[in-house]
Structure 1
Amino acid sequence: MTWRDALGLLSVMVSPLILAQDTAWEFTPRLSLSQEYSDNIGLAPPGDEESDFITQLNTGFNLNREGGRARAQLGYNLQSLFYWQGSNASALFHQFLGNGRIDVLPEQFFIESTASFSQRQLTRARAGADNLNLDNNRGDVLTFSVSPVYNQQFADLATGQLRYSYNRVDVQGNAGSNSQLHTASLNIDSGPQFSRFGWGFAMNYSQTDADDGTSTTQQNAEVLGRWNVTDRLGLFAVVGYEQDDFDQDTQNTQSDGLTWRLGSTYEPSARTLLEAFFGKRFFGTTYGATARHRMRNSQFTLDYTESITSATQFEIDQSIPRGVNATVGESLIVDGEPFLFDLETPQLRSGSFISKRLSAGYTGQRRKLGWGLRVFHELRDYEISDDSEEAQSIAGNLSWQWRPRTSLFANASRQESTFAGQDGEETLYATQLGISRQFGNQVSASVQYSYRDLESGQLDNDGYQENRVSATLQKTF
């Protein structure tokens, strides 16, 4: 699928909003110009490096609409790259992120849609590469989703929600990862009348059909009971039944059985939330935990989950718009959502896997100093084979308001991974140092230096080292 097809899908998503009579749009164009230098533009192994100067021009806009029955948030960027020593390598890349919602019946029936178009590495051969690197290992990724949702209030007794979602993922250059996902869910939760003893019921169904013939079906039903021991302490129990069908070519693996969970939620203050549970699923004992704590100048987050997911679901989850352009030197956690590591993304392959994922972060701001620290670890066991993957990372960042309009920043990370079908480990070190300056409300500039070092134990990958220097001027209108 080409970028023109992607823009066509985006136009379908927003056309009902454009036709809305009470539509009021906020249009913000932006422009940035960068001059870059890389001493290893192709990420070649030691001894084969080639350097180049790159002029990068980013032109784009943000389009927002709030109010009434229609709302949308859209961002588009055209990334133009001009290589001084390799004119034939000059390229254009299109990127957008967007979501929209139309309230057919206010607060009762609405339709949500999201779309994204970006680029990613197709294999692990050059982990950490971006669009500037000439490594021939890049493909466009399109995700699209539309979800009608119906809510129903049953007086003070209960609330219910019925949701259907159609999702599509297309990856250029990797047809085996192209797929569509259908999901349906029904959730009923007890209302205010059940203040001490609450209850809930949930049914979920999902079917993933990949273009290579892989099909995965997951369905479950659960009943929940909750006892609010105090205003701050709650105990809950969940019992249900799940049926999962993993089918590829002539193989067919089906797993089903009774599931259960026992857990507790504790909120000692408005700033702290703790939740943990243990239970049983078809793959064995399962655990989960969540911790949130806000201090005066910082916050701490921790999540541990065990779930059945896929590369398709991962791409869909990451399509939730958070803005097309990232701010230079920004924190590892923004609005409670962590940014991804390079090796955090699973390989592009079909089929489902059991994910055991731990992520923790600490970020804060005190006077002129800002900081962030994040650790991540994930095990992935694929259901249709004996393959497995493991990835772990640690990263930190610092920012300092040196002058009223001038900031210094530094980022560093260490990422390590082993992947299915490969011998040996990959370790990626990344460092970034920079300074940014604000000129008024609409113009800013930055200069930064970055270093990346990939150490690979793979037989067909010798790793690489790259030093890069860039100067950027940004303007919004």
Structure 2
Amino acid sequence: MAITTSRRGSLPLLPLLSLLLPVPASAIDWLAKPSLRLRESYTDNALRAPPGKAQSDFITEIAPAIALIGTGPRLRVHLDYSWHKYLSGQRADTDNHELQASADAELVKDWFFIDANASVSRRNISPFGPQLIDDLPDTDNASTVRTMGISPYLRHRFRGLATAELRYTRNTVDSGGDLLSVHSDEMELLLSGEPRGTGWTWNASHDVRRTQDSKLAPVRMQRSSVGLRYPFSSKWSATASGGMEKEGYISASGKAPEGRFWSLGGVWTPSPRTSVAFSTGKRFFGTTYSLDATFLQRHTNWQLNYSENITTMPTQFSRLGNRDAGQLLDQLWRGIFPNARDRRLRIDAFLRYANSLGPERGAINYFSHRYFLQKQLKLTMARATAKSTMIAGITAVDRTAQTASGIDSGLLPGVEFGSEDRTRQIGGNVGWSWQASSRTSVNINAGYASVRSLSVPRRDNNITLTAGYTRILQPNMTASIDVRHTRHASNRGGDYRENGVSATLTMQF
């Protein structure tokens, strides 16, 4: 049963939401959906042991959860929280929390805004070795990561001149122990000029960020840039940008990570549903390229992205997962599910199933205190009709460490020293759901992830195949049966195969 309320003013919910108070006095609709999931699973390899040492086990999972959506003219809230208790015969009983929450509010009309987000999730400590499986208790290669961010900002449009934004952002990433604890404070000034003459526009920015890692000295990043966009026609525009940057970390090569940068590119928009933006340029680490393309059709949407940037693993942990896939599904489902809140709940449910049993969508992020040059190519496709939905993604990521590896020796004692100096990952994931009738549906998911070290001869492959059948027993009660096959192979040993079957009963209140 969905609990829907309409209330004037603010509603204290969680510490995260309290950051947004006082909420403007305007109508806010709240939709709360508490639920309980009971699952009984059988696995023939509970500990993900090599052949000949596998041990079977029955695992009971109890998972109460709540989904919360708040919508108003000047406030949006989304929260998806669950607690999982695992009762196992082969290992000690365990529990974990899963949270995805975000909120944004306009506190002073046209002037003062605030964004906030928080997450709690299980993550792989290393890209090598046993990987996470949703139904099974954690291995020694997994830990819980908590992230939180808050970003108040001032934004105002000065007619005829520019739109100005001054934003402060505080981000924290914590593993709950000594493995990882990082926080950053960032101040950014953005200026976006009003169109001039034939429609050309300009922009400028100045960004300063201070990062404190519990294992490292503070790092200060500074970046300033200006950009221009000139339209040649209704379909083509040219872009240019340039500036100065200083990353602040101590490079392993001894060369300071700073200097001037520039880029030249273009934007092609042949129709309102198709756009392609591309550029090339120079930064302190070499020639750079970027691509951002979107192609929207009636039932199928595509996104293709390529980027090159300096990043860290805590930064990757802080990014909202499945944003691209969620946006594509939202666009496709607007005609099928016109109610925005109902559509959001359905998107969350689909992506949760599509990701829960397969390899991590996109790049495998892992624990590290190092800075990396990351080159990433990502293709995402979403197809949705009244009867079926499919999400497919392919990701290729090349990461080259920019700082020394010694700082990570305590994080990954079981991994060969230097194996993460340079890694290359290729992954793919396909999730498909078919509505066989008004009460039954079939779900299939396939995932593949390959992680290769280019600094030492190591390569790990992960494959997961799942299939499930779901039936609505009552309006607020659903039963499902799922089967799973997982396989892990490495040229350094530790291979395993695992098969599982689970029966799940989900009740909504």
TM category (shorter chain) comes to: 0.7 to 0.9
Other-structure match for 1:305: 307
- Aligned-residue Cα RMSD (Å) equals 2.8
The one-letter amino acid paired with 1:290 is: D
Which residues of 2 match residues 11-160 of structure 1 at below 5 A? 11-15=14-18, 25-67=30-72, 69-83=74-88, 85-86=89-90, 89-123=92-126, 124-130=128-134, 132-160=136-164
Larger mean CA deviation between 367-376 and 408-417 belongs to: 367-376
Please say if 1:221 is aligned against 2:224: yes
1:6 is matched with: none
Structure 1 residue 144: deviation in Å? 1.1
The AA in structure 2 aligned to 1:80 is: K
**Match of 1:472?**
504
For 2:290 and 2:428, how far apart are their aligned partners in 1?
21
Matches within 5 A, 1:451-466: 451-458=485-492, 461-466=493-498
Question: Which residue in 1 is equivalent to 2:427?
Answer: 393
For the Cα contact (< 8 Å) 2:359–2:462, is it kept in 1?
no
Distance change >3 Å, CA 284–CA 27, structure 1 → 2 = same
Q: Structure 1 residue 380: deviation in Å?
A: 0.6
Q: How many residues align?
A: 457
Cα-to-partner distance string for 1:93-148 (whole Å, 9 max, x where unaligned): 12222223343312311222211122222233212434623523332211111111
Give 1 or 2: higher strand fraction: 1
Scaled by the length of structure 1, the TM-score of the pair is: 0.87
Q: Structure 1 418/216 Cα, relative in aligned 2: closer, same or farther at 3 Å? A: farther
Q: Secondary structure of the equivalent of 1:412?
A: strand
Q: Which digits, 9 at most, give the CA deviation of each residue in 1:416-451, with x for residues without a partner?
A: 112477531001111111112234543222211111
CA–CA separation in structure 1 for the residues paired with 2:210 and 2:146:
19
- Check 1:372–1:60 CA distance in 2 against 1; reply closer, same or farther (3 A cut): closer
- Identity over aligned residues, as a percent? 25
Which amino acid in structure 1 is aligned with residue 370 of structure 2?
Answer: G
Matched residue, 1:346 = 365
Distance 1:265 1:360 in 2: 19
Deviation at 1:455, TM superposition (A): 0.3
Cα displacement (A) at 1:363: 2.6
- From 271, 274, 277, the equivalent of 1:275 is 277
| Equivalence for 1:287 | 289
What residue in structure 2 maps to residue 436 of structure 1?
470
Equivalent-residue separation in structure 1 for 2:174 and 2:351 (angstroms)? 31
Contact preservation (8 Å) 2:359, 2:448? no
Q: Which range is displaced more, 89-98 or 424-433?
A: 89-98
Q: State the distance in 2 between where 1:24 and 1:398 align.
A: 32
Which AA in structure 2 matches 1:379? D
SS at match of 1:344: coil
Secondary structure of residue in 2 paired with 1:315: helix
AA partner of residue 142 (structure 2): R
Conserved 8 A contact 1:17-1:71? no
Identify the residue that residue 298 of structure 2 maps to in structure 1. Answer: 296
Which deviates further from its counterpart, 128-137 or 264-273?
128-137
In structure 1, C-alpha distance between the alignment counterparts of 2:138 and 2:130, rounded to whole Å: 10
Q: Secondary structure at the match of 1:43?
A: coil
Cα distance between partner residues in 1 of 2:438 and 2:92:
40
**Is the CA contact 1:43–1:133 (under 8 Å) kept in the aligned structure 2?**
no
TM-score by length of 2: 0.82
**Cα distance in 1 for residues equivalent to 2:225 and 2:199:** 20
| Aligned position for 1:7 | none
2:67 aligned partner, one-letter code: N
For residue 426 of structure 1, what is the amino acid of its counterpart? D
What is the SS of the residue equivalent to 2:100?
strand
**Match status 1:177 vs 2:194:** no
